[in-house]
Amino acid sequence: MPGIGIMTDSNCGIMPSEERGYGIHVLPMPVIIDGKTFSEGVDITPDIFYQKQASGSVITTSQPSPGDVAAMWDRLLSSYDEIVFIPMSSGLSNTCQTALILADDEPYRGRVHVVDNHRISVTQAVSVLDAKILADEGRSGAEIKQILEQEALDATIYIAVDTLEYLKKGGRITPAAAAFGSMLRIKPVLTIQGGKLDSCARARGMRSAFHTMLGALKKDLDTRLAPLRAQGCLKVGLANTPMEPEKLDAFKAEMHENFPDMDFVYFPLTMSIGTHVGPGGLGIGAVRFHDK
């Protein structure tokens, strides 16, 4: 029986259909469209999701049910001695807190290790891949949890949205602010530091927003993340909701040009994130990683 199974949720950008290629296990996030619940990456594709979003469907998100989490744990524990579960940041969802409570009861206590390392999207994906490397090195589940939580804040994310419509629908900005911002082509730049989403800056147009994020990322790399960059244990990353391929390629090229000394990682932003961001959203960041 293999020692440790690595489990995450689809907010990391890795879909259930891709899990075998990474040697991990992915819990699909629920997406509720016009009252019907879909499992991300299982019974709905991004193309259909964004078609429904553009057509005006009412879309909301939810955390996986405790029953779904426990069912996946039960299945994995029939094949593994332990599980390390890395959900999205506790600052952005109750999934982590629910899992921590569930893991403190029998039959999971001591066998399921829930990691709250305050990450989402690309940074969460890197944590998951790090956990697999640490497990392959022979680390215990408790050790992997401790390492990932100690390194939780060794990451930074900046996000820009192309449209304010979905922030308005989610109640994160008022209709008046959305109308005013759209008229002036204002693109809010948001940041995730320590797991919570905060406002960072505003820019006129998406390219200006990208360069605002680029400047903020460079500042992080020159200040609080500088020691890790000097050690060569940081990667930069990019994630997006659907946009024109030429635009995406241009953003990727600029990332390579600005950080030629650093590895680059890319994952798409998932449907559960796209619910609040909408099409044309872009995120960039940096994250500590473990080498094989």
Same domain, 229 and 274: yes
Mean pLDDT of the chain: 89
Task: Decide if 36 is inside a domain.
Answer: no
Examine the domain organization and report whether 162 and 236 are in the same domain: yes
Whether 187 and 263 map to the same domain: the answer is yes
Verify that 78 and 119 share a domain, yes or no.
Answer: yes
In a domain, 53, yes or no: no
- Judge whether 44 lies within some domain: no
Helix (H) or strand (E) holding 250: helix 245-258
Per-10-residue mean pLDDT, the chain, length 292: 89 92 95 95 91 92 93 96 94 88 95 93 94 96 96 92 65 45 64 77 87 96 96 95 94 97 92 87 94 77
196 closest CA partner among 114, 270, 289, 90: 90
Residue 47, domain member (yes or no): no
The domain that holds 283 is classified in CATH as 3.30.1180.10
pLDDT for 277 equals: 83
Q: Could you tell me if 273 and 10 are in contact, meaning their C-beta atoms sit under 8 angstroms apart? A: no
Is 145 found in the same domain as 9? yes
Contacts of 278 (CB under 8 A, 6+ apart): 53, 161, 162, 163, 165, 166, 241
**Can you give the CATH number for the domain in which 118 is found?**
3.40.50.10170
pLDDT of residue 190: 82
Domain boundary (98, 122, 150) is at 150
**Model pLDDT, residue 135:** 96
pTM of the model: 0.89
pLDDT of amino acid 222: 96
The verdict on 233 and 252 lying in the same domain is yes
Look-up of token digits 């090195």: 137
Residues in Cβ contact with 69 at an 8 Å cutoff, skipping those fewer than 6 apart: 27, 85, 95, 98, 99, 102
In a domain, 57, yes or no: no
Q: Which of 134, 150, 166 is the last residue of a domain?
A: 150
Q: Could you tell me the residue range of the domain that residue 190 belongs to? A: 155-288
State residue 99's pLDDT score: 95
Q: Is residue 48 part of a domain?
A: no
Tally the domains of the chain: 2
> 188 lies in a domain?
yes
Q: Please tell me whether residues 136 and 165 are part of one structural domain.
A: no
Whether residue 186 lies inside any domain: the answer is: yes
